[in-house]
């Protein structure tokens, strides 16, 4: 089992797609200060308790500040059967428009 990383310039092709969930793993305050469009906030610290609310038939795209936390989260959920991609470089590498 493995997961892919995606480049920041490729994430926009997933905006608004059915069965894709972009998840911002940062704290709510960081999320509120600016996040990738269509992303939902599930802080990494809450991932274990909120996993039951994440649909297994979706492609999950994780991102965090720099990419390290999203890699750990991907490894955690991969073992539970999720289809996951991680954003390489995190939001610090993203150069697109942010939603607030």
Domain parsing of the chain, residue ranges: 4-93
CA dist., res. 44 & res. 73, Å (int): 7
Report residue 7's pLDDT band, with 50, 70 and 90 as the boundaries: very high
Q: What is the percent of the chain where pLDDT is above 90?
A: 93
Determine which of 11-15, 47-51, 59-63, 75-79 has the lowest per-residue pLDDT on average: 75-79
Report residue 1's pLDDT band, with 50, 70 and 90 as the boundaries: low
* pLDDT over threshold 80, residue 95: yes
Beta strands in 4-100 (DSSP E): 4-6, 20-24, 40-41, 59-63, 83-87
* pLDDT over threshold 80, residue 69: yes
2 class by beta-carbon count within 10 Å (0-12 exposed, 13-18 middle, 19+ buried):
exposed
- What's the rounded mean pLDDT across residues 37-53? 96
CATH hierarchy code of domain 4-93: 3.40.250.10
For the chain, the residue count is: 100
């Amino acid at each position: 089992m493995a997961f892919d990383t995606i480049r920041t310039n490729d994430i926009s092709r997933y905006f608004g797609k059915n069965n894709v969930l972009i998840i911002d793993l940062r704290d709510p305050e960081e999320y509120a200060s600016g996040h990738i469009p269509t992303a939902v906030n599930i802080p990494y610290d809450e991932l274990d308790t909120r996993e039951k609310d994440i649909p297994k038939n979706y492609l999950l795209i994780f991102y965090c500040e720099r990419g390290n936390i999203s890699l750990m989260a991907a490894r955690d959920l991969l073992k539970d059967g999720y289809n996951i991609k991680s954003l390489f470089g995190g939001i610090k590498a993203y150069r697109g428009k942010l939603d607030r």
